[in-house]
Amino acid sequence: MPPTLILIRHAQALHNATSDWSIHDPPLTDLGRHQSAELHESLQASSLAQKTDLIVVSPMRRTLETMTIGLDFLIKKGVPVLPDANWHENADKPCDTGNTMDIIGKEYPQYDFSGVDPLYPDKTSNLETNPYAFTRKAIVARGQACLSALYTRPEKVIAVVSHSGFLRTAVCNRNFFNADWRVFEFDEEEMAKRGGFVLRESEETEKKGGGMGRSDVGFFGIVEGDFPPEMEAKVGKVEAVGEASEEVPGKVSA
């Protein structure tokens, strides 16, 4: 039986607070660290989260820091942590581009980054074949690859710490406020109809607007501006929006 997924967005990072997309792989703000502590309390109070037996994380500073604070009660229990480049953010701006694992490994020596794809964080070379390219085709395919990898895992409950743009456009078509979380099952019926991996949100987090009730309620798919036009993508002209510039509940955010 495929696992239940707890999908989590990182807490507020420096680029979210300043709207400065030139900050390379930004860390959390003080508010972001506070949000991560609130995430910790929320997840610790969840009977489902207590059953988590694998943590998957995007190998970027803001997701790693959110996980280290917010899921610390699980890590201390020995739940393994799996950094996976497939879960990183969409755009190729500096704020959405990670560091190499030699740098991140020194900052987070407690985690094993040896399994991270060595091509990461390159998003600009070989746009036609690069799985991390900032194109609609590549990102939607990356979302399917993420779900395919988890579908056959032996664990029963998997927590994933990722990014709002990628989660919305490629994984579950939902908005996530900073440090909020949602619960999903694989929707076998829809998967049979569509021929791909599809998630169904739990009634509780869907109606509430996330586990902490801070996220938009409803379905939010791909919209104009999420990705560069294909012709522009081929010559590296990327102007589309990555993550939300306004961290306000109730607004549509990427």
Predicted pLDDT of residue 233: 40
Structure confidence at residue 229 (pLDDT): 87
The pLDDT of residue 185 is above 90: yes
Residue type, 144: Q
Q: How far apart are the first and last CA of the chain?
A: 31
Identify the pLDDT of residue 8.
99
Q: In the sheet that 4-9 helps form, which strands lie side by side, from edge to edge?
A: 81-83, 54-57, 157-162, 4-9, 181-186, 199-201
Domain that includes residue 107, residue range: 4-208
Domain annotation covers residue 199: yes
Global pTM reads: 0.91
Q: Is 55 a domain residue?
A: yes
Beta bridge partners of 7: 160, 182
Residue 234: inside a domain: no
As beta bridge partners, residue 239 has none
Residue 215 lies in a domain: no
Instruction: Let me know: does 38 contact 206? Beta carbons within 8 Å.
Output: no
Catalytic residue among 15, 40, 88, 163: 163
Q: Is 235 part of any domain?
A: no
Active site residue 15: no
Choose the weakest-confidence range: 137-146, 159-168, 229-238. Answer: 229-238
Specify the pLDDT at position 230.
73
Q: Which of 102-106, 117-121, 238-242 has the lowest mean pLDDT?
A: 238-242
Is residue 118 in some structural domain? yes
Q: What is the mean pLDDT of residues 179-198?
A: 97
The single residue of 10, 15, 40, 88 carrying the catalytic annotation is 10
Could you report the per-residue pLDDT of 15-50, keeping only the tens digit for each?
Answer: 999 999 999 999 999 999 999 999 999 999 999 999
Residue 174 lies in a domain: yes
184: domain CATH number?
3.40.50.1240
**Tell me, what's the pLDDT at 227?**
95
Which letter does DSSP use for residue 13 in this model? B
pLDDT at 218: 96
Q: pLDDT per residue over 47-90, tens digit each? A: 999 999 999 999 999 999 999 999 999 999 999 999 999 999 99
pLDDT bin (cut points 50, 70, 90) of residue 181 is very high
Query: Per-residue pLDDT for 102 more than 50?
Result: yes
In a domain, 147, yes or no: yes
Query: Structurally, how many domains does the chain consist of?
Result: 1
DSSP 96: G
The pLDDT of residue 5 is above 60: yes
Residue 223 corresponds to which tokens in the numbers above? 């919209």
Which range is least confidently modeled, 143-147, 177-181, 228-232?
228-232
Is 40 assigned a catalytic role? no
